[in-house]
A and B are shown apart, each in its own frame.
Chain A
Amino acid sequence: MAERRLFQEYNRYKKSPPSKSNPQIISLNPISEDNIFNWQAIISKPTKKDNPFYYGGQWKLSIAVSRQYPLEPPVIKFITPIVHPNINLKTGEICLDILKKDAWSPAWNLEHLLVAILMLLDSPEPDSPLNIDAANLYRHDPVGFQSMVQFNMWKVGSFVDVKKSTPTTITKSNQVIRDVSGSKIRAIIA
């Protein structure tokens, strides 16, 4: 059942890619055609209008689908490290109710989940954090949170358009600002 459903979904994504309906989803496809149960997705927040904290960022996700799918939700993790109150910085684990068994509905598909994760980026939930430092920062110092997010993105190099904001093209003043915020962040992380 799971295999069939996944192929159905795959065919649909091939016919009408999710990126067409939602430009924030860059790609969504299985890692290899041989194993339909392992997928990979890339999501992004291209402009500041999309998200005040994560603008310019792009993240890779790994989607491990269980054999019980769609009766059981797939396991989705961030491969690209991301600073977010509800996402584990190291493992990439996501704290989202619909990814848990209780709130998951078999009527949803992988695209729905990506949309849900994009919405999680837009509205973090600091009350049930996986990354407590990020949650505290988000709650008390949104500007600091923004710069930390941006610093982390710069650190791991996860920008949508690499040309526009690679470290080499960053102006001196910019660099200083980033460094200053970065040192702060380092203190927090440590």
Chain B
Amino acid sequence: MALILNRTLVLASINTSYTQQLAINRNRMGITGDNYKHSAALLKKLTIICFRIAVLVSLCYNGYNVLVTLNLLNHTSTPDLAWLYTRLLPDKYFGYNVDYYADSKYMKTPSSQVMIGPTSDMYWPIFLNFCWSSFTETLIAAIQGKKPYTETGITIFEHSLAFQEFSSNGAFFFTNSKYHKRPTEQVLLATLFSIFNHLNIHIGALINNNKYRLIPSTIIGMAFLTYFISTFSQWKVLQFPFILILTFTPQVLILGIIFISFTIFIIAIMINGFELKGLNYASFFLHELNEEEDEDTLSLNINLNDDFYTALLNVGILAITSAGKSSYITELSLITVDNDTWIERSLWQQLKQKLTRNNIRNVKSRDLVQYLRDNQISGYANLISQPSSRLITGTPYSDAVEVNNTSQEQSVWRRRIEFMKVMIIDAWQLIYGLLVDSFLLDYLPGLFRKRQLNHEETNEEFEKRKQRIPQFLQKYVTRRVSERSTAISTDLIPEDELTSRLLIGDRELSEVDNSGDYIDEPDEISDSEYESDEEIEEIIPEDTPTSIYDLFTFEDFNEIITSPNTLLVLQQHMQYSGNGPLTRSHYRDLHPTTQLPNSMNNDATKLIELIIEKRANKSHIPNNELLSRLECVICQTNIREIITWPCKCFAICENCRLSLVSKGIEGCVCCRREVEGVSKVFIP
């Protein structure tokens, strides 16, 4: 029987798509005859409701019978849930009346038995009822072209096996068995929950088409599973029918797994600071939140019209597959523990949070310094990852827009307006500077002055002018001298005076040199004199370290002698037998082809060569020395890596920064300026 029913059910569910098609066709045909269709639909609806109500009534009756039997069991023996029965099943309503049940076929107390109460025969009508219920559901589903809601907790097949195992032998079809067995509590309770499930299906179908079936189904299912788990103690679970043990043990395990997973998830959330963000499984819930309108497709693969055991299985599969991927182990991997301590985190943020509460838009340097002072934090604790332009340009306490901090907060329009403001101010300053400062104040008076000063003042004019000025100012008045005559023409001044003037340097010399070549009296210079000069050069530095020694060492002199060009010049100089010493023009006369080695052009190249050479020498300094220049000024061992704002002293290392923070030292260690923050600098 059960097998047949099961097959019909399976067939019905396979045929649904076909029946749906049929239903649609029917609907299409019915478009023409509205009246007929309406009445037919009503009739169909009524029939379905009648079917359901009939099933409901019989289910209620059987349920009542089960409850009565349970109540009886409570009196005759000591069931597990005795406390529940005594509280919930008053004798007044659920008492077993022997006389009343004497007529009923399956609930009567058998005459051949000593005991009171129904035998296991009572399972039979219940089973028939289940069959009927399933059949009705399948039939209605087939008529309506829907998927039938099946009871997945305990199928009819399982019921039949369970009842068979616990019923009296030989009770065939509609006959009463001769060997009686008592209905056991476990089977009765399983039956009761099954009845509830069937009731749930039919009531749900009547009320809202089983839209929220999962909720009552979960309550019933959880209740039964709880009872099932509770029977594990004292091995009472073995009193369940074998098939039920087989069915429910996996579900208990699944429930356990889900429970463990959920616990892990909760712990992860707690560790994450009660935030879902960043967790592996948060995606399920966040997704759910994002698509609230789409109620039917939850990411957990559960539909609200599902039944409890299907949902349990789906969640269980999810949990088990996740466990297989060992994602619980990595669940916390995405939780990023802040690498920074409070010391490292930028104080700007803390400050900003504080100040934004007071609606202050631009955090200013002054505020920060004040904040630091108020909280007795040294600026070294403020690690800035991206120094703002104000810090870099170093404008102290400017109210300039903090590009770094405000760009995100301000709207595009506000920023544009601010830029416009700056532009307008700049343009105004430019115009003002050009018009007023240079033109009006400098250029125009300059015009007048020029006209006045074009002629040189004579002594008489000067005296006249002096008379006009008040007496106490007269001593400050000087005679005007034409500016053009300041540069003295070299031609006008005798030669010996020229050098003295040049040395005194009170006035510029004219650049035009009209003097002839220098010609001196023939004067023999002996070699010994040169040597003595050399000796002096050698001796002087040893005695007194004068500034000349710093500029020009004996080595440099040696270099000059050994360099080929100068050597040539020196040779010429020594061998020159003309009039007086060798001058440049003489040299040029002697060597017209060769360019003078120490001409202007050559000097420049030589200087560059020298610079390059010196630099090359400098770069050859061993690395140690270079590194020692970069040693932290405090510990003098580590390399400098912290730059302080806004003074931009690059002097300390990270360790020393931390010790400065712990010591609460304020101000830059090098320049004593207020430290607003520091940044780490990396020297590759």
Contacts and interface: CB of A to CB of B under 8 A. Distances in A.
Interface stretch (B391-399, B527-535, B632-640): B632-640
A107 B633 contact: yes
Nearest to A109: B636
Nearest to B662: A71
A5 B633 contact: no
Interface residues of A, number: 12
Given A105-B672, A106-B656, A107-B670, A5 B665 contact: no
B169 interface: no
A106 B634 contact: yes
B171 interface: no
A105 B669 contact: yes
Nearest to B656: A106
Contact-residue bracket for chain B: 10 to 19
A70 interface: yes
B660 interface: yes
Contact of A4 (B633, B635, B659, B665): B635
A140 B458 CA distance: 55
Given A105-B670, A106-B669, A107-B670, A71 B637 contact: no
Contacts of A166: none
Contacts of B620: none
Interface in B630-679: 633-637, 651, 655-656, 659-660, 663, 665, 667, 669-670, 672
A1 interface: yes
A106 B636 contact: no
A4 B651 contact: no
- Majority SS at the chain A contact face: loop
Contacts of A5: 634-637
Contacts of B659: 1, 71
B660 A106 contact: yes
B655 to A, nearest CB: 8
Nearest to B655: A1
A9 interface: yes
Interface string A1-45: 100110011000000000000000000000000000000000000
Nearest to A104: B665
Interface of B: 633-637, 651, 655-656, 659-660, 663, 665, 667, 669-670, 672
Interface of A: 1, 4-5, 8-9, 68, 70-72, 105-107
Given A106-B633, A106-B660, A107-B669, 16 more contacts: A1-B635, A1-B655, A1-B659, A4-B635, A5-B634, A5-B636, A5-B637, A70-B634, A70-B635, A71-B660, A71-B663, A105-B669, A105-B670, A106-B656, A106-B665, A107-B633
14 contacts: A1-B659, A4-B635, A4-B636, A4-B637, A5-B634, A5-B637, A8-B636, A8-B637, A70-B634, A71-B663, A72-B663, A107-B633, A107-B634, A107-B670
